[in-house]
Amino acid sequence: MTRSPAGPPPDLTDVLPGGGPSFVSLPRAEEAGIARLGDLPVSLRILTEDALRHGEIEAVAAIAARRRDVAVRLRPGRILMQDSSGIPVLADLAALREEAPAGAVVEPLIPVDLVVDHSVEVDRHGSPDANDVNLAIEFERNAERYRFLRWAERAFSALRVVPPGRGICHQMNLEVLAQVVTVRDGIARPDTMLGTDSHSTMVNALAVLGWGVGGIEALSAMLGRAVTMRVPAVVGVRLLNRMPAGATATDLALALTALLRRHGVVEKVVEFFGPGLAALRLPDRATVANMAPEYGATMGFFPVDDETLAYLRLTGRDAAHVGLVESYARAQGLWHAAEGRRFDETLEFDLASVEPSVAGPSRPAQRLGLAAVPASLPVTDRFRPVTGPIRDGDVAIAAITSCTNTANTDAMLRAGLLARAARARGLTAKPWVKASLSPGSRVVTDYLAEAGLLDDLAALGFALVGHGCMTCMGNSGPLAPEIETAIRTDKLDVAAVLSGNRNFEGRIHPLIRAAYLASPPLVVAYALAGDMRRDFSRDPVGVGSDGRPVMLADLWPDDATVAAAAAVVTPQGYAARAATAFDGPPAWTAIAAPEGERFAWEPGSQFMRPPPFAAGRLAVPALTGDIRGARMLALLGDDVTTDHISPVSRIPPESEAAAWLIAHGETASGLQSYSARRVNHEVMARGAFANLRLRNRLVPEREGGFTRLTAGGEITTIHAAAQQYRDAGTPMVVVAGRNYGAGSARDWAAKGTRILGVSAVLAESFERIHRANLVALGVLPLQFADGQGLAALGLHGFETVDILGLAMLRPGATATARFRRADGSVVEVPVLCRIDTDEEAADLAGGGVLPAVSRDLAGRRDRAPS
């Protein structure tokens, strides 16, 4: 691909109307005969602008021609991180600075924002002081991590940190950080970004091009490496009509998730258009865009239109900037056109078909009408006698949480209004339900309080517990001791219901097997009912203080009432909170930040240890040729998520990670979560494949992070088995089914795989982010051909594995997988090397991205950050 370092030819620049800034014009490029661009989807137009601005004329033509065999580059304008994934990125950056020779500058070259939102837990709930108590505990638990962040703020000039208690990163992105259009060096350009959280796609609702990546990919981008990718296919979803009265954005998002997951949009871009688009408010679009990882797409993109501008005004952006966004979008062809775009595939979706629904019990795409919920419960005997205060099918956790819905004004006001109606009828959450409210933005708390609805929610048990990603990412905190005892003693299958985007097994709480995604008002309704065994279309939510049954329809607010309540949502409210977004609470400003350009690691720390990925044995290529005599560390089925591979939940006291921590001085009560320990590679290595709900076919009789070395051999942990294989010099592989690596963008799922010593992962298909993360860590992803997966091959897991034909790895190459059984019989099948670009091939051959970046930094001396 040719690249002109001088940028595009001068005759491709134009000036926005009214004496505005200049811009690199796509219309002028088309007039110059470079390519046919006028009917490109908006998402591809933004990708094209980046190529054109950097003088990559051949890439412009390739995008216009939809050349799937061509790799194109994106230089994102900024990086967004949350603390759970972002602190490891900054630790890797600190380690690179230590490894770099004198004179080499290790500094982000583009703006980086980190929002601290993933560390707060629901320790206290149901009381007026819950928010303050949880915030205080958060600071106590994370003292080391937050000292590191305070150092990083000073050490890296391009880094800004939004302190704890401000809101969820994706909502902060929409309300404060995203610009839609930016001006740099006098040139207007689209706002583009990468995020270290898979739900970074939420900002696609605001017409910002961006998606989730692993921390390693984000780190390489912030240090100046372009992101390379194949020209993506774009699936256009034509929206028709409008949603029925009473329907919520959650219902819409779950319906689209089910539709698009069935259709197949992995590694594709979904772009919404059509006459129905005008009927969707931007918060509703954000709920849909947020769920892009759940339907498998790289993005769920919405173009600029009048609603985009209205949201910018609502959230306090000034008139001049709103005018810039409109003039640039119209001049550059980024404005919504109801028809006329050229998509690779087109689907139609009738908004009028949306019905009340939930998703569960373990996947976001398992959409259920309310009548189908009882039959979905994974229980064998719902009415068997129990000894405790809870039984099968009961709701143990009901949480209004996560970025997906908790800053959707209509959804939150509807939840508050439903709570008011329920309170008037004398209803409250059942005593065994742990209820909580953790909005994505402080603005939500403000307008709920102003409308008096915060009190109504608290009266039903939904007291404010914090402003962060809490229950949705597993920070649900402990259940009451008698509840936990009952679940363990009676082996109960209880449920969680939450307004989040993920409900994978073991994610919400390790003792809760079933989890259901629902709109905020439905979360309240299920907390009032106390169980998932009833059909809300015919069964009552509860019995009122007058002794009469109360139906869901009796409580559900109508659209006019919700619209009237929205009068409390004002631009002044958003502007006031945006002005203090970077002002931390007293506990944050009181942290004494370490000095110096290099971080002073504390010897023996159980939270912050120097990462091992840029130097040492993990920087040496895992692949040096064919793999011979490998053994399977795990044989897994379909839909293995990054939660299965690298859990974020509390560290179980009986786990190998807990044993290591306790042996090194930690108390049994201070284990905390895997998420909080991500910069301790010793803990995370022992947490790899340690999810309590993992099902490894080498040990079919037991769930969890276990395996065995031989058929009929003793059961051992996956970490211990990996150590034995490494000591013996035996290569290791993991073999799995479809959709391997679905879920969060956490690069620790790939780091854990690499640190165990796995050379390759063979799967029937991969989710986009995890495939890229494996390559970035130097692990080879290999894909079976259609019809040649686990069932067809009849693998039992104890075969010896050879992978042949790896001498010259390149995009699209094939290799041969040979499985040798104990009886001497052999099965050979071709497998596709899932390396998509030449850059990925080079990274894999060099041991991964971090060693490559380290080598690059060794040659980057006396270069000032730009």
What residues contact 478, with CB distance under 8 A and at least 6 apart?
123, 484
Poorest-pLDDT segment among 304-313, 591-600, 624-633? 591-600
| Percentage above 70 pLDDT, the chain | 97
pLDDT of residue 383: 55
Residue 865 has pLDDT above 50, yes or no: no
Nearest partner of 250 among 354, 401, 371, 352, judged by Cα: 354
Residue 437 has pLDDT above 50, yes or no: yes
Alpha carbons within 13 angstroms on the beta-carbon side of residue 193 total 32
**Its pTM surpasses 0.75:** yes
- Give the type of residue at 84: S
d(CA 431, CA 426): 14
d(CA 449, CA 395): 27
Residue 864 has pLDDT above 60, yes or no: no
Task: Look up tokens 């688009």; give the residue.
Answer: 277
Q: What is the DSSP letter of 607?
A: S
Residue spans of beta strands (DSSP E) within 119-252: 159-162, 181-184, 187-190, 192-195, 209-212, 227-230, 234-240
pLDDT of residue 750: 96
Give Cα 416 distance to the centre of its chain: 27
Residue 197's pLDDT band (cuts 50, 70, 90): very high
d(CA 756, CA 732): 9
- 264 vs 807 pLDDT, higher one: 264
H helix runs in 116-248, sequence order: 130-141, 143-155, 169-172, 215-222
Q: Which two tokens stand for residue 306?
A: 């009048």
pLDDT digits (tens, 9 = 90+) for 627-639: 999 999 999 999 9
Mean per-residue pLDDT for 782-799? 93
H helix runs in 425-549, sequence order: 442-450, 453-459, 481-490, 520-529
pLDDT digits (tens, 9 = 90+) for 404-421: 888 899 999 999 999 999
Mean per-residue pLDDT for 54-82? 95
Q: Beta 780-784 vs 758-763: how paired, if at all?
A: parallel
pLDDT of residue 382: 52
Residue 254 has pLDDT above 80, yes or no: yes
Q: What is the DSSP letter of 114?
A: E
pLDDT of residue 191: 98
d(CA 766, CA 749): 13
Q: Rounded to the nearest 5°, which phi and psi values hold at 59?
A: -65, -40
Q: Which two tokens stand for residue 832?
A: 């596709």
Instruction: With beta carbons less than 8 A apart as the criterion, state whether 265 and 296 touch.
Output: yes
Residue 2 has pLDDT above 50, yes or no: no
Question: Which whole-number Å values give the CA distances from 786 to 461, 504, 533, 729, in the listed order?
Answer: 50, 26, 39, 32
Residue 338 has pLDDT above 90, yes or no: no
Residue 697 has pLDDT above 60, yes or no: yes
Residue 561 has pLDDT above 50, yes or no: yes
What residues contact 530, with CB distance under 8 A and at least 6 apart?
394, 395, 429, 430, 432, 433
What is the four-CA torsion angle of 686, 689, 693, 696, rounded to 10 degrees?
A: -120
Residue 102's pLDDT band (cuts 50, 70, 90): confident
Residue 866's pLDDT band (cuts 50, 70, 90): very low
pLDDT of residue 379: 65
Mean per-residue pLDDT for 634-651? 94
Residue 559 has pLDDT above 70, yes or no: yes
Mean per-residue pLDDT for 178-182? 98
Q: What is the mean pLDDT of the chain?
A: 94
pLDDT digits (tens, 9 = 90+) for 825-849: 999 999 999 999 999 999 999 999 9
What is the four-CA torsion angle of 347, 353, 356, 361, rounded to 10 degrees?
A: -40
d(CA 444, CA 467): 10
For 739, the 3-state DSSP assignment is coil
Residue 113 has pLDDT above 70, yes or no: yes
Q: Rounded to the nearest 5°, which phi and psi values hold at 749?
A: -65, -35
pLDDT of residue 477: 94
pLDDT digits (tens, 9 = 90+) for 489-543: 999 999 999 999 999 888 899 899 999 999 999 999 999 999 999 999 999 999 9
Residue 299 has pLDDT above 90, yes or no: yes
| Percentage above 90 pLDDT, the chain | 87
Mean per-residue pLDDT for 556-570? 97
Q: Which two tokens stand for residue 172?
A: 């902060």
d(CA 17, CA 332): 12
Residue 808 has pLDDT above 80, yes or no: yes
Question: Which whole-number Å values give the CA distances from 223 to 139, 250, 345, 613, 690, in the listed order?
Answer: 30, 37, 36, 16, 33
The full set of domains in the chain, from first to last, is 10-74 (no CATH), 78-353 (3.30.499.10), 359-569 (3.30.499.10), 616-857 (3.20.19.10)
Residue 387's pLDDT band (cuts 50, 70, 90): low
Question: Which whole-number Å values give the CA distances from 379 to 396, 424, 495, in the listed order?
Answer: 15, 34, 11
pLDDT of residue 861: 47
Q: Which two tokens stand for residue 198?
A: 């898979």
pLDDT of residue 380: 54
Residue 101's pLDDT band (cuts 50, 70, 90): confident
Question: Angle CA(788)–CA(794)–CA(799) in degrees, nearest 5?
Answer: 105
